[in-house]
Chains A and B, each alone.
Chain A
Amino acid sequence: MLRVSALEKRFGGLAALNDVSFSVAPGQIKSVIGPNGAGKTTLFNLIAGTLSPSAGDIHLDGVSIAGLPAAAIGAAGVARTFQQPRVFASLSILENAMLGGHRFHKGGFLACGLGLRHTRREEEKLRARAEKWLDFAGIQSIKHRNASELPLGQQRYVEIARAMATGAKLILMDEPAAGLDETETKELGEMVRAIRGTGTTVLIIDHHMDFIMSLADEVLVLNFGQWLAEGTPSQIQNSEIVIEAYLGSDDDA
């Protein structure tokens, strides 16, 4: 469903991503791993349209999305969660999730200002859609709290509810397990499986080997912006190039 071909991104002289190609099958959980600065977040920014590629192409269900504005790619069915959770801090959790479903519901400036009945019905439908995903993410009971009041771990679930409410067919999750303890990581793994269970394809970045190995169908390894290896978790775990790259870097075992 996602095909990345010869993708390249330069920042000045630095090639943050160089000649990276891979694809993701529908309904897969695919993981992207690699040492710090390997270009993982950059890859997500290119797929989501936050950055435009220096070269190469990205196809979503056969349609090229490389270089499109982020809003167009969002509307085409790509949602994401951020490495540093980014919730709308001054809005309630419910409103955060409602923004995920925002684009499906009608109501222009005039209709909303006039308070027309049909915009209010749309608002009810939007709320129902948001609540469904709050329920899914397990944060329905705290929906009226301000998103800023939540600890980081729970902000990730707000991001997940918001992303799922967009009706995405592909969700990009950037290190969602960072900073979580063992139980929380396990719960997150269940959540990721549940997301896949809804038919959404998952591309997930992480550093925790155990977490990824038990979760992913396939793993892509990046190193210094280069494609290093790709395969099933056990293939990757036993790959000498990968082990070398990881031993060569000073963390992320």
Chain B
Amino acid sequence: MSILTFIKQDAVHLNTARVALFLTAILLVPVVFGIGYYLNMMIFIAILSLPAMGLSLLSGLSGQLAISHGAFFAIGAYASAILSTNIGINPVLSTLLAQMIVALVAAAIGAVVLRLRSHYLAIATLSFAIIVELVIKEWSGLTGGMQGMLNIPAMGALGREATSDIQYYYIYWPITALLLLFALNLSSSRIGRALRAIREGEPIVDSLGIQAAEYKIGIYIISSVFAGVGGALYAHFVGFVTPATGSIMFAIEIIMVLALGGFDRLWGALVGVVLITLLNEYALGFADYKKIILGVTLIAVMLVFPRGLLPGLIDLARSNKYGRTA
């Protein structure tokens, strides 16, 4: 029995092997290419991958899109910022505590909103996102209002703090990789199976004695916590947060990421983040038109490839290779 057949027996082993390979490659990048500006971009990719993977879990498993991932990114960022800056809790702990807040809010929203079907979920979570943005702007005593918060402590604990990009790179990428592994495992587990079934026919799932609502709320919480972790990592890396952190525009950008990488692929979410980061960095220097270009691209992609650009192109390549069947 070769190592490969051993790995293939179990989805968890296969996921672990793939993510380990991926992480090894990522960790070797600075060794090969040295320390440079690209590290900064790579750190942002690690951070943005978290809300993207979170949303991908939700849309891939339950078939629902939420516009609240920007808001949970902001809640994660502000909560960890406030806990560490104002109360003096160390950033590792504040990042974790912030996730409890995110999870509680997501559970409350989920309990109310998840009785609604797909596009209603989008609209209801949009309202929630608007409220969060408003609260952040208006509750200036806590959040600093429009000015935001400055001098958020760097990531670290027990007197050891990250001080350079290369250190952040080696802290954040393993976190992202571990959460990717978590998401992949969840997706290939009984939970993922139940959610896919619920997506196809909630009444049938009910008839099997399975409480569909619990699963829908559960995946919404997990998915939101991914965004919350992203927010906290972001706050401690850049050192400041403003209402623009996790705005609705940002939520739409995450959906854009999935439109590029595919709505039901966790690895695709990573590819989507890379693509959008490159687009932002190089192709869209002319800032005024940026939003319009992103918006138009989003609509075009969704019309032509409803499952997302990457899966769409893969399908296209396959059908060309094997000839079209009528």
Complex: A90 Cα to B199 Cα, angstroms: 10
Q: Contact check: which of A49, A71, A88 meets B201 at CB < 8 Å?
A: A88
Query: Is B207's CB within 8 Å of the partner chain A?
Result: yes
Contact of A103 with B208 in the complex, beta carbons under 8 Å? yes
- Contact across chains for B206 and A69 when beta carbons are under 8 A apart: yes
Looking at the assembled complex, report how far the CB atom of B221 sits from the nearest CB atom of chain A, in whole angstroms. 8
Q: How far is the CA of A120 from the CA of B15 in the complex (A)?
A: 13
Q: Mark B176-200, 1 if CB is under 8 A from A, else 0.
A: 0000011101100111111011001
Q: How many angstroms between the C-alpha atoms of A94 and B200 in the bound complex?
A: 16
Query: Which segment of A105-113, A133-141, A198-206, A208-216 sits at the interface?
Result: A105-113
How far is it, in angstroms, between the C-alpha of A216 and the C-alpha of B201 when the chains are bound?
31
In the complex, which of the residues A76, A99, A108, A123 contacts B210, with contact meaning CB atoms closer than 8 Å? A99
Contact A103 B210 (CB under 8 A): yes
Given A112-B185, A113-B182, A115-B16, A48–B207 Cβ distance below 8 Å? yes
Residue B12 at the A interface, CB < 8 A? Answer: yes
Instruction: Please state if B189 and A107 are interface contacts (CB–CB under 8 Å).
Output: yes
Tell me which residues from 158 to 189 in chain A have a Cβ below 8 Å from any Cβ of chain B.
Answer: 162, 166
Cβ–Cβ contact A126 & B190, under 8 A: yes
Check A162 against B208 for contact (C-beta < 8 Å): yes
Q: Which residues of B contact A98 (CB under 8 A)?
A: 190, 193
Interface bracket on A: 35 or more
Taken residue by residue from 54 to 92, chain B's Cβ proximity to chain A (1 for < 8 Å, 0 otherwise) reads as 000000000000000000000000000000000000000
In the complex, chain A residues whose CB is within 8 Å of the CB of B219 = 109
The chain B residue with its CB closest to the CB of A101 is: B208
Residues of B within 8 A of A50 (CB): 203, 206-207
Interface string of A112-135 (1 = CB under 8 A from B): 111100011011001000000000
Q: How far is the CA of A120 from the CA of B185 in the complex (A)?
A: 11
Given the complex, which residues of A lie within 8 Å of B194, measured CB to CB?
A: 99, 102
- Which A residues are in CB contact (< 8 Å) with B285? none
A75 nearest in chain B by CB position: B209
Pairs A–B under 8 Å by Cβ, sample size 10: A71-B210, A74-B207, A88-B196, A99-B197, A105-B190, A112-B186, A113-B182, A113-B186, A115-B12, A115-B15
| A contacts, CB < 8 Å to B | 48-50, 69-76, 79-80, 82, 86, 88-91, 95, 98-100, 102-103, 105, 107-109, 112-115, 119-120, 122-123, 126, 162, 166
